[in-house]
C-alpha cells in the first residue's frame, strides 16, 4: 500500500483546500471534521506523508500522539466536554476513507450518542466558533 499524495488531507496540508484550523506546528496540523459525529469533532494529521498507523515511522507517530493528547485536553476544556473518544482507522477494511493518517478526537457528554457515520456537513459558522474556542485554550497554554 503506497501513499497517494492526491488525497484530500494532503491538499489541506498544502493549503489548496481550506479548513477550520485548530493547531499547527512542525509535526502536525489539526482541524475540524466537516461531518462531525459529535460537537467539536476534530482531526489531527501528521505533516509527514503517512498513509495510516501501519506505515508511519514510530518517532513521527510518537510526535503525533503527543499533540493528540494536547489537543484533546484543550477541546475537552474549551467545549466543556465530559470525555473524549479517540478513533483511528487504517485501510478500507478498517474503516479508513481518507488515506493520510488521521486521529479523530470526539468530545463526549454523558448519555449523548455519537452520530452515525457520514452525517450532514456542519454549519461552517459553528465549526469556526468551535475551532476558535479550542485555539484560545491552546494559545493560553503557550
Ligand atoms: P476516515 O478516513 O477516518 O474514515 O474518515 C475521514 C474523515 O474525514 C471523516 O470523518 C470525514 O468527515 C472527514 N473529511 C472528509 N473530507 C473532509 C474535508 O474535506 N475536510 C474536513 N475537514 N474533513 C473531511
> Which one of 102, 104, 118, 124 is the catalytic residue?
102
Domain residue extents for the chain: 8-110+118-141
34 Cα: distance to centroid of ligand 1 (angstroms): 7
Ligand 1: atom nearest CA of 98 is 2
For the segment 3-44, what is each residue's pLDDT rounded down to a tens digit?
999 999 999 999 999 999 999 999 999 999 999 999 999 999
Cell readout for 69 is 493528547
Cβ–ligand 1 contact at 96 (below 6 Å): yes
Q: What is the Cα–Cα distance from 99 to 7, expressed in whole angstroms?
A: 6
Bridge partner residues of 24 (DSSP)? 29
pLDDT tens readout for residues 82-110: 999 999 999 999 999 999 999 999 999 99
Residues 6+ apart with CB under 8 A from 123: none
Known active-site residue 102:
yes
Strands (E), the chain: 21-24, 28-32, 42-46, 83-87, 103-108
CATH, domain range 8-110+118-141: 3.30.428.10
pTM of the model: 0.97
* Span 64-77, pLDDT tens digits: 999 999 999 999 99
Q: How many residues does the chain have?
A: 142
Amino acid at each position: 500500500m503506497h501513499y497517494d499524495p492526491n488525497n484530500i488531507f494532503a491538499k489541506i496540508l498544502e493549503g489548496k483546500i481550506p479548513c477550520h484550523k485548530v493547531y499547527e506546528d512542525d509535526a502536525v496540523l489539526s482541524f475540524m471534521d466537516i461531518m462531525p459525529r459529535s460537537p467539536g469533532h476534530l482531526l489531527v494529521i501528521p505533516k509527514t506523508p503517512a498513509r495510516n498507523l501501519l506505515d508511519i515511522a514510530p518517532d513521527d507517530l510518537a510526535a503525533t500522539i503527543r499533540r493528540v493528547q494536547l489537543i484533546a485536553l484543550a477541546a475537552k476544556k474549551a467545549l466543556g466536554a465530559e470525555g473524549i473518544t479517540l478513533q483511528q482507522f487504517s485501510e478500507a477494511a478498517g474503516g479508513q476513507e481518507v488515506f493520510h493518517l488521521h486521529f479523530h478526537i470526539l468530545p463526549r457528554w454523558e448519555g449523548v450518542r455519537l452520530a452515525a457515520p457520514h452525517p450532514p456537513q456542519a454549519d461552517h459558522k459553528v465549526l469556526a466558533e468551535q475551532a476558535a474556542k479550542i485555539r484560545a485554550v491552546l494559545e493560553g497554554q503557550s
